Structure 1
Amino acid sequence: MKDLFEAHDALAVAELIRGRKVGVREVLDASLNRLRAVNDKLNAITDFYDGELLEKSVAAAGDGPFHGIPFVVKQLMADCAGTPTTVGSRFFAKEPVAANDSAAVARMRRAGLVIVGRSNTSEFGLAPTTEPAFGGATVNPWRADLSPGGSSGGSAAVVAARALPMAHATDGGGSIRIPASLCGLFGLKPSRGRISLAPIGETLAGAGAQLCVSISVRDSAALLDAVAGGEPGDPYRAPEAEGSFREATRRAPGRLRIAFLRKPVGWQSMDPALVAAVERTAKRLEVLGHHVEEAMPDYDPAATGAAFGTVMCANTFTNIQVRANGRVPGPHDLEPVTRLYAEKGRGISAHDYIRAVQTFHRTGRQLGAFFERFDILLSPTIARTSLPLGTVRMDGSLEEYEEGLAPMVAFTSVCNAAGVPAMSVPLEGTEDGLPIGLHFVARYGAEATLFSLAAQLEQAHPWRDRRPGGVT
């Protein structure tokens, strides 16, 4: 039982449970023991459920495809009844306590998942690393001096360490895909409106999304099947998929038209190791029968980035006000960059905010035109090969923070602005053995195409046996 998730993904373990080869309690106890041991080294889990709270999680788990599988939910964008969602902040460590599960969490429970705790995140998910002042830094299992990325770094670290086969993750500018890349995992950000964010609002003008990081493509696909769909009154709803996403992993993607990038849009160059990783992947795709050529979408990255800044600042200020319910943050309740973002957000006019949202929409139309010519856009997931702890600072100036942020979101954030699906696939590595994720983007609503391609690549170039060896 100790090494159960070393050899099995979540669906495989659920099948063992259904076949009575292992018991739910047996899996749960072994997983919690493994998680606690791993967490002593990684600092990835902020809260473990035990006692009555754990028993409620066991009782709430339905008889779905993941029946009996332990699961952690990130401390951001998702509520679990009876506990606070801290958003990685000291100010919200104890309140408000959620009265109910958020819509996606309720669906996760119905799918059979047993929620056993909450995973670490950067404060308000603002940083592409997971080093909050409240709770401390999460360590990358591949090397103790590296960050697992963020803001879903807690979830990614425990999955990379094979303490769980998958874990909840959210993505407002790359926060599923960035840690997936740095931790050697599969991570897909769904289309805008594919998964309801109820009861919260649209989240970053529609840029926010959630799903998971996982060791297998089919686990992510099956989870999306379980949680996809809207709630009454949702501001966005993605088009209905043709068949299930898990079914998409079982069929060939056909001959896709794939464009690739040697550098981010608007940049002059990129690390040669990342260029080589893209070129090798492009050749693999050609061998698999796809049409591959170099091409760059036409959008204004500076305008999109500025729009993101406006939306993030305004949302940070507003979310603090709403969640605080009249409480006022003290001088040490928020990290310096969070406070600076909130102060900047306080002064943003309705005119500026609307212009930012319009920029998001214009960017979406520009990418939409690009995907009339191509099915997929390939690049690295991030414009770095690793992320040493302390690289992205939340305790300095906005200029320092944004300098650290830029290479982390150079490929990912435009997908959030446009609302299109994108995934990081762990196909490559550095000379010293660290994982490199390759980024694949598709047109709005085309998650099935991404899953089909990912499953084809997973079969042709398996990655599950590539695991960190040092920290855990």
Structure 2
Amino acid sequence: MNQVDLAFTPALEQAQLIRRREVSPLELVEVYLERISKLNPQLGSYFTVMAEQAIADAKAKTEMLPSASELPPFFGVPISIKDLNHVAGIPCNYGNPALLNNIPDYDDGVVVKIKQAGFILLGKTATSELGSFPYTEPTGFPPARNPWNLEYTPGGSSGGAAAAVAAGLCAIAQGSDGGGSIRGPAACCGVVGIKPSRGRVSHAPVGDRLSGIATNGSIARTVADAAALLDVMSGYIVGDPYWLSDPEPSFLAVTKEQPGSLRIAYATSIPPLGKANANCEQGVLQTVQLLQELGHTVEQKSPDFSGLVEPFQVVWQSNVAASGIPAQILQPMNRWLLARTSSAGEYLQAVYQMQAVARQIIAFFDSIDVLVLPVYLHSPIRVGEWANLSPEETFHKIISWVAPCPPANATGQPAIALPVGFDELGLPMSVQLVGRPAAEATLISLAAQLEAAKPWIQHRPALG
């Protein structure tokens, strides 16, 4: 197998290659570090490359391999970590150049689980400042770019992670999603992104500061890889404010099971924020047709999301104030959001309203199993397209673009972004599947069925 094919080999298959001694962890790491050295200057997908640490870990794992009797599931497989998550001894700057010397002395809980699964950390991927934006262009860093067309954004805030996976700069990636920050980049870059249910993945050793709207999740080139990484990251850690039981069977196992005949609803607009453009609508309608051919019952209907817009904005924008970062070192957009921060009473009132609307949205799922939506309401923007707009203008454009994503954050429901084709510019088209609370298994099984019916793993950006 040549090095390009190896770089684009799914993570689960890489793990098997290592087990069969057909490739070593060191060989894999060297492949990715060479690709990062060559392509990251164009893509801006990594803030920090952990070359020295990755090579040392890979050498140690390679030496262990001949005598190991039992190996963790992803022994020797390279992965990236988003630069909103802590890795001990590695800078975590949250997309802010003033924090380049912010070096945590502990691993986040998800990082601990990822290491325990045998992964090798390649580096920290690019994010928008504080994860605030659905594009990844933080001041002081090169903008992250879409590997399918470098003039366009890979999305945000997990834009670096999705771009790295799509371009073959890591086998698989950890991301996080507080309003579409996994699903949007996955859609922009033509990969799979899973936002799990609230309580599925721990925020340990710290806590959740956004009333449950944000979570860690997985980004991969296949449904099976994304499901298997979710298995790794899932699980209660002492002190979590909310949690779910471990899945039984595993999420990876359900990729091999048929979902049965499901009741599926779909929509291509999010009143009062707008309707999907032709490309995003086409992705939904193509998927609906395929679902019908696969034997599912499909009808056009949607919950009423209108009451969610205002309270969600109040909760989401409070992230800037909660960060504790001084206004003078923030980007203009985040300074503007900081100035709009609500009082404690207004925040709690917004949480109350958001939870009330969330109950109504979840009640809609009493009669359906899955809701199919666009991921975003229009195609990816160009890098820098909104750079000269005022913060207020940018804010309203963001809301109108990402509108299909925040409802699942507010309700805590699981959602998956799946690639479904390409538009006339060669950019990926995607679709979003939203499931019942804690029903990742249904979504993953359905996503695997769609992937099998219309495979996309063979597609690679020319740059890669």
| Residue 314 (structure 1) aligned with residue 318 (structure 2) | yes
The counterpart of 1:342, out of the listed 317, 321, 338, is 338
Uncovered stretches (5+) of structure 1, i.e. residues with no partner: 322-327
SS in 1 for 2:292: helix
| More off after superposition, 38-47 vs 236-245 | 236-245
Once residues 313 and 277 of structure 1 are traced to their aligned partners in structure 2, the CA distance between those partners, rounded to angstroms, is 30
Cα shift at 1:53: 7.0
Tell me if the contact between 1:430 and 1:436 (Cα under 8 Å) persists in the aligned partners.
Answer: yes
Match of 1:106 in 2: 112
Measure how far apart 1:396 and its partner are: 4.9
Instruction: Report SS of the residue matched to 1:205.
Output: coil
Shifted more, 1-10 versus 166-175: the winner is 1-10
Whether the 8 Å contact between 1:317 and 1:342 is mirrored in structure 2 is yes
Q: Say if 2:96 is the partner of 1:89.
A: yes
Q: Which residue of 2 aligns with 1:436?
A: 429
- Sort the Cα spacing of 1:431 and 1:468 in 2 relative to 1 into closer, same or farther, 3 A: same
The 2-side partners of 1:290 and 1:58 are apart by 49
Q: Distance in 1 between matches of 2:127 and 2:59?
A: 25
| Alignment partner, residue 246 of structure 1 | 252
Kindly state the Cα deviation for residue 139 of structure 1 after the two structures are TM-superposed.
1.0
In structure 2, give the amino acid aligned to 1:389.
V
Instruction: Assess, with a 3 A threshold, how the Cα gap between structure 1 residues 272 and 49 changes in structure 2: closer, same or farther.
Output: closer
Counterpart amino acid of residue 338 in structure 1: N
- Residue 354 (structure 2) aligns with: 360
2:365 aligned residue (347, 371, 392) = 371
Give the Cα separation in 2 of the matches to 1:384 and 1:275. Answer: 9
Q: How does 1:245-264 map to 2 (within 5 A)?
A: 245-264=251-270
CA distance in 2, matches of 1:20, 1:433: 38
Maintained 8 Å contact 1:337/1:398? yes
Match of 1:135 in 2: 141
User: Which residue of 1 is the match for residue 154 of structure 2?
Assistant: 148
Aligned-partner SS, 1:378: strand
How far 1:267 sits from its partner (Å)?
A: 4.2
CA–CA separation in structure 1 for the residues paired with 2:201 and 2:274: 36
Query: Superposed, which structure 2 residues align to 1:276-295 within 5 Å?
Result: 276-295=282-301
Relative to 1, partners in 2 of residues 1:219 and 1:269: Cα closer, same or farther, differing over 3 Å?
A: closer
Q: CA deviation at 1:203?
A: 3.4
Amino acid of the structure 2 residue aligned with 1:35: I
In 1, Cα distance between equivalents of 2:352 and 2:402: 20
Aligned to 1:48: 49
> Once the 2 structures are TM-superposed, how far is the Cα of residue 205 of structure 1 from its aligned partner?
1.4
| 1:139-218 superposed matches below 5 A | 139-218=145-224
Whether the 8 Å contact between 2:26 and 2:59 is mirrored in structure 1 is: no
Q: 1:234 to 1:287 in 2, by over 3 A?
A: same
How far apart are residue 318 of structure 1 and its match?
2.2
CA contact (8 A) 2:153 2:383 kept: yes
Aligned partner of residue 3 in structure 2, secondary structure: coil
* One-letter amino acid of the structure 2 residue matched with residue 219 of structure 1: D
Match of 1:73 in 2: 81
Aligned-pair distance for 1:73? 0.5
The aligned counterpart of 1:324 is: none
Consecutive unaligned residues of structure 2, counting only runs of 5 or more, are 63-69
Q: Contact between 1:167 and 1:212, CA under 8 Å: does it hold in 2? A: yes
TM superposition score normalised by structure 1: 0.92
- Tell me by how many angstroms 1:52 deviates: 5.1
Shift of the 409–111 alpha-carbon distance from structure 1 to 2, 3 Å rule, reads: same
Return the TM-score normalized by structure 2: 0.94
Q: What percentage of aligned pairs have identical amino acids?
A: 36
Match of 1:446 among 439, 450, 454: 439
Moved over 6 A (4+): none
What is the CA-CA distance between 1:334 and the residue it aligns to?
1.4
Task: Count how many residue pairs are aligned between Structure 1 and Structure 2.
Answer: 456
2:273/2:400 contact within 8 Å kept = no
Residue identity matched to 2:421: E
Q: Deviations over 1:344-400 (max 9, x none)?
A: 22xx2221111111122113211210110110000211111222112344x753311
Corresponding letter in the other structure for 1:87: Y
Contact 1:5 1:165 in 2 (8 A): no
Q: Which residue of 2 aligns with 1:458?
A: 451
**Partner SS, residue 372 of structure 1:** coil
- Cα pair 1:60 1:109 within 8 Å, conserved: no
Residue deviations 1:1-24 (CA, integer Å, cap 9, x gap): 521445520010110001101111
Match in the other structure for 1:234: 240
Question: Equivalent residue of 2:363, what SS?
Answer: helix
Provide the C-alpha distance between the structure 2 equivalents of 1:319 and 1:72, rounded to a whole number of angstroms. Answer: 23
Shift of 1:26: 1.1
- The code of the aligned residue for 2:94 comes to V
| Structure 2 residue identity aligned to 1:342 | L
Q: Give the superposition deviation at 1:417.
A: 0.8
- How far apart in 2 are the matches of 1:381 and 1:142? 18
How far residue 200 of structure 1 moved from its aligned partner, in angstroms, is: 2.5
User: Are 2:24 and 1:23 aligned?
Assistant: yes
RMSD value over aligned CA atoms?
1.9
* Pair 7,70 (structure 1): closer, same or farther in 2 beyond 3 Å: closer
